[in-house]
């Protein structure tokens, strides 16, 4: 029997996992802390009252089943998702509870849509990959921008980060993804994912105020190339990354994020600028805020809250823009996110 508002966070002690736990507690959920390190889980649980600890190794299906027992949903925040996503979603399907993850790995998200669509439909549950800053937010913005359009020729997603201090998990996941595709690059063009060896190029991008014109790397591909075309009819999805962030990420000496406020957020700021084009028409929707890891928490927890409330449009494996009303979802994130370019906001 499920406990109505108990949500398992797998990978709870990680950088993003901690933000998710705090968001769940703030919203009145009971967070169940899971992962492989029992000692770290107990230390984290001591920061709040009444949190349950259920350690589980990713290669132990019985322990995963016990971790999810009685829960209403699970959020997987443990990368690399090439390793964790399969076992955790399979446990969720056995328990017949919703699964949400925050994967930014392109190949892990491709596999989720390809490998679990039928099983999730048969179980009658929602499975939401990439419900995070990368993948989920861009998909929601693109869906909102598209509005009533049946399709688009191009979707452009530009990330204007003033810096990027990656966590160890980000670096590990990036290396795993790089290795899985043999060092090749990936893009979404002509209605399909394509692997290639072309070098990315640098160009200028005019972000909304107050960011303005900034140099970006074109072809810095993020998981929006999976989430957006999973449900929107588009010929091409292009993603861009600010030069400052790309340099930080490539520098092995860039330190981890440092908290500057009581919530644990860093001083990193961001703007995500989405442009959709169809024929000669163009639409634009943007979001800006602070700390890409911190903003993932309200994205993932809002998704769980809406799923449990029955505020969804389908079942099975679905991206954020397909499962939820994009405009209403984005509206719910203000003032954590400042949104521009959408009607009624």
Residue 301 sits in a domain whose CATH number is 3.40.50.720
How would you list the strands of the sheet with 6-10, edge to edge?
52-55, 30-35, 6-10, 73-76, 99-101, 126-128, 316-317
Domain count, the chain: 2
CA 180 to chain centre: 20
Give the tens place of pLDDT for each residue, 114-124: 999 999 999 99
The pLDDT assigned to 341 comes to 87
11: pLDDT strictly greater than 50? yes
Give the tens place of pLDDT for each residue, 180-192: 899 899 999 999 9
Band of the pLDDT at 344, cuts 50, 70, 90?
very low
Q: What is the mean pLDDT of residues 62-86?
A: 97
Q: Is residue 345 part of a domain?
A: no
- 287 and 256 share a domain? yes
Q: What is the mean pLDDT of residues 319-324?
A: 98
1: pLDDT strictly greater than 80? no
The answer to whether 321 touches 142, Cβ cutoff 8 Å, is yes
Residue 247 sits in a domain whose CATH number is 3.30.360.10
Q: CB neighbours of 122 closer than 8 A, spacing ≥ 6?
A: none
- 285 and 210 share a domain? yes
- 28 and 115 share a domain? yes
The pLDDT assigned to 50 comes to 84
241: pLDDT strictly greater than 60? yes
- 138 and 282 share a domain? yes
2: pLDDT strictly greater than 70? no
- Positive or negative: CA dihedral 20, 26, 27, 32: positive
- 267 and 318 share a domain? no
- 201 and 256 share a domain? yes
311: pLDDT strictly greater than 80? yes
Band of the pLDDT at 258, cuts 50, 70, 90?
very high
Q: pTM here?
A: 0.96
- 152 and 240 share a domain? yes
Tokens of 156: 């452009």
- 94 and 151 share a domain? no
172: pLDDT strictly greater than 50? yes
Give me the domain span that covers residue 195.
Answer: 133-291+334-340
The answer to whether 223 touches 212, Cβ cutoff 8 Å, is no
Give the tens place of pLDDT for each residue, 28-61: 999 999 999 999 999 999 999 889 999 999 999 9
Give the tens place of pLDDT for each residue, 189-235: 999 999 999 999 999 999 998 889 999 999 999 999 999 999 999 99
Angle at CA 135, nearest 5°, toward 148 and 291? 115
- 139 and 100 share a domain? no
Q: CB neighbours of 332 closer than 8 A, spacing ≥ 6?
A: 302
* % of the chain residues with pLDDT over 70: 98
- 287 and 138 share a domain? yes
Please state, rounded to an integer, the average pLDDT across all residues of the chain. 95
């Amino acid at each position: 029997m499920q406990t109505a508002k108990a949500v398992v966070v797998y990978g709870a002690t990680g950088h993003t996992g901690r933000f998710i736990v705090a968001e769940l507690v703030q919203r009145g959920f009971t967070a169940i802390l899971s992962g492989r390190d029992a000692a770290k889980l107990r230390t984290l649980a001591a920061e709040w009252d009444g949190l349950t600890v259920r350690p589980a190794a990713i290669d132990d299906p019985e322990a995963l089943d016990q971790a999810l027992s009685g829960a209403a949903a699970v959020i997987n925040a443990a990368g690399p998702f090439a390793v964790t996503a399969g076992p955790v979603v399979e446990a969720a399907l056995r328990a017949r509870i919703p699964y949400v993850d925050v994967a930014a790995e392109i190949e892990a998200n491709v596999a989720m849509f390809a490998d679990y669509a039928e099983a999730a439909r048969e179980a009658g549950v929602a499975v939401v990959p990439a419900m995070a800053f990368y993948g989920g937010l861009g998909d929601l913005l693109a869906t909102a921008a598209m509005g009533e359009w049946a399709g688009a020729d191009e979707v452009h997603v530009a990330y204007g980060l003033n810096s990027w201090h990656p966590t160890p998990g980000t670096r590990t996941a990036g290396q795993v993804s790089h290795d899985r595709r043999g060092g090749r690059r990936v893009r979404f063009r002509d209605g399909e994912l394509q692997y290639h060896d072309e070098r990315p190029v640098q160009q200028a991008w005019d972000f909304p105020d107050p960011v303005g014109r900034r140099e970006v790397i074109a072809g810095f591909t993020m998981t929006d190339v999976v989430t957006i075309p999973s449900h929107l009819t588009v010929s091409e999805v292009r993603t861009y990354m600010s030069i400052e962030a790309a340099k930080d990420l490539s520098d092995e000496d860039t330190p981890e994020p440092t908290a500057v406020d009581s919530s644990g957020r860093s001083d990193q700021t961001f703007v995500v600028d989405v442009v959709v084009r169809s024929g000669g028409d163009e639409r634009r929707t943007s979001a800006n805020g602070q700390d890409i890891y911190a903003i993932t928490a309200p994205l993932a927890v809002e998704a769980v809250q809406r799923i449990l409330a029955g505020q969804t449009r389908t079942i099975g494996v679905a991206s954020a823009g397909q499962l939820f009303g994009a405009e209403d979802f984005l509206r719910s994130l203000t003032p954590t996110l400042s949104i521009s370019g959408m009607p009624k906001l």
